[in-house]
Amino acid sequence: MKNSEHSVWGDSYWYYNASHVDPLNRRLEKKTWFIMFLLCPGPLKAQLGTTPNIKHIVVGRCLNYITLVNPSLRLDCEEIWRQFEEAVVRQSSCNVTVEDYNHMFYAMAQTWPCDKFLFWSKTRTLMHIYAAVVPHYWTLEDTLVGYMFNDLIWCGQEEDSEMACGNITVLLNGSIVNAFNRKSMFGSVELDSLNACRVDYVNIKVVTNLDGPFIESCSEGSIVDLIQILQSRGFRWTCTDNEETLMILQCIQNPKQASCQTCANSLSQIKSLTLT
């Protein structure tokens, strides 16, 4: 893939259209175990769009993660940064490979659970709410490397990875055209990295805004293309339109929506069952 500027979780397709839905490891087995976007060589400073003070941000996030988020990890954040920096400065071009980052990968090896990964595209806010309510899910931002590098920008390139196993979930925005976009982070990198031998089911969840527009679904639009790709690669899959939990979460954020009466009734039923 050609070099370009990225945030850790993808290009503009990964974060744009927030207005549409915003209301709403395992151990390292292969050297290419994670999707990394590699810094351009040279001094680590604000150049070519690189985030200013990136070292202080990355090391600080690392310390916060191992101190407050996951104290069970016993890692050296300064050493992780040194390995990262070494992989960058010793290169003469932006054509840095994942192999150049092996030492950093080993320095921050982390066990990831199967059956818990939640991928997403153009549903960032709802994804965070969903993952908070359903603690079963892990997003890339829950991992150490994702926590450290999330939203930071630099020149880089994508590499394949094998990070997901068991049943995985993909949350897509049905209120926009091309909910599944081959140029998005999920469509161009993460989907290609999935291993059909390690993934049992790809569970697609399509969610629309409460008031629409209702553009794509499991049987219409780009979601059909995604399903065809999964079938061609031997994946088993499921697809659900507007799962009740996702609609209820939107209604909690927007209780005055007319369509939330159904959600309110559902909540009342749940409350009654709880009190019984």
* 157 and 105 within one domain: yes
Band (pLDDT 50/70/90 cuts) for residue 90 is low
Residue 249's identity, in one-letter code, is: L
* 249 and 181 within one domain: no
- Determine which of 61-70, 71-80, 258-267 has the lowest per-residue pLDDT on average: 258-267
Query: In which domain, by residue range, is 56 found?
Result: 4-242
Task: Cite the beta strand spans of the chain per DSSP E.
Answer: 4-7, 118-121, 153-156, 166-173, 199-207, 236-241
* 262 and 207 within one domain: no
- Determine which of 8-12, 176-180, 251-255 has the lowest per-residue pLDDT on average: 8-12
Query: Could you confirm whether 165 is annotated as catalytic?
Result: yes
Q: Which of 94, 155, 165, 251 is catalytic?
A: 165
Phi, psi of 100 (to 5 degrees): -65, -15
Q: Residue 262: its pLDDT value, please?
A: 61
Q: Residue 16: its pLDDT value, please?
A: 26
How high is the mean pLDDT of the chain?
A: 75
* 164 and 272 within one domain: no
45: pLDDT strictly greater than 60:
no
* 247 and 228 within one domain: no
For residues 112 and 37, which has the higher predicted lDDT (pLDDT)? 112
- Per DSSP, 100 falls in state G
CA distance 10 to 28: 22
Q: What is the mean pLDDT of residues 78-99?
A: 71
The total domain count for the chain is 2
Query: Could you confirm whether 62 is annotated as catalytic?
Result: no
pTM to 2 decimals?
A: 0.66
Per residue, the 3-state secondary structure of 121-157, as one string, reads ECCHHHHHHHHHHCCCCECHHHCHHHHHHCCCEEEEC
Task: For 222-249, write each residue's pLDDT tens digit.
Answer: 999 999 999 999 999 999 999 999 999 9
CA distance 180 to 217: 11
Q: Residue 44: its pLDDT value, please?
A: 43
* 8 A C-beta contact, residue 161 and residue 194: no
* 237 and 249 within one domain: no
Q: What is the mean pLDDT of residues 66-71?
A: 93
* 92 and 37 within one domain: yes
Question: What angle, rounded to 10 degrees, do the helices at 244-253 and 260-275 form?
Answer: 110
* 185 and 133 within one domain: yes
